[in-house]
Amino acid sequence: MAEHFGKAPEAVSPEELRQYFIFLKHDKKVARQTATQAICAIKLFWEKSLRRPWPAEVELVRADPEFKLPVVLSSQEVRLVLSKVSAADQRVALITIYSCGLRLGEALQLEVKDIDSQRMFLRIRAGKGNRDRSSPRAMPT
């Protein structure tokens, strides 16, 4: 920000702050996460280092959120990919990950005791958000 305006940060006005965030969005076309990171960093610097209250008149302009649909393979494509895996243990691991909707970290923590074959559940310990859950889908045969 200081380089953008060519002056010391303490000399930047609230209106210039707003203009800088608009510049990030429209001219530099930064991603939403990058804009949020810049806003948080500048706000922290403004309040802690400069010891100035964050100006209420600064309307934060962020990039529009990106909504990207995930790539979903057809069942035929999944079968084709899995058929290319020659090692049986690796194929079983991939089938389990795919059919139970596991994240890689969840799959790496799986143990035999996590399989509830009576109820056809798979217990996932410390998944996303460090939460336990179970996969209600039947285990692959």
Stated pTM of the model: 0.50
In angstroms, what CA-CA distances link 21 with 27, 59, 66, 83?
10, 9, 18, 50
Q: How far apart (Å, rounded) are the C-alpha atoms in residues 18 and 92? A: 54
Bridge partners, 135 (sequence order): 122
Query: Residue 102: inside a domain, yes or no?
Result: yes
Strands 133-135 and 115-116: unpaired
Quick one: CA torsion of 47, 49, 52, 54, rounded to 10 degrees? -30
pLDDT at 138 over 60: no
Share of the chain above pLDDT 70, in %: 91
Identify whether residues 79 and 43 lie together within a single domain. no
- CA 52 from centre of chain: 32
Asked whether residue 66 is domain-assigned, the answer is no
Q: Does residue 62 lie within any of the structural domains?
A: no
131 in the same domain as 80: yes
Does residue 24 form part of some domain? yes
Structural domain harbouring 105:
75-135
pLDDT digits (tens, 9 = 90+) for 66-77: 778 888 889 999
Three-class secondary structure of residue 120 per DSSP: coil
Instruction: For residue 130, name the pLDDT band (cuts at 50, 70, 90).
Output: confident
Residue 67 lies in a domain: no
Domain contains 21 = yes
Q: Is residue 140 part of a domain?
A: no
φ and ψ at residue 93, rounded to 5 degrees: -60, -45
Give a yes or no: residue 63 inside a domain: no
Same-domain check for residues 41 and 79: no
Q: How many separate domains does the chain show?
A: 2
For residue 60, what pLDDT is reported?
66
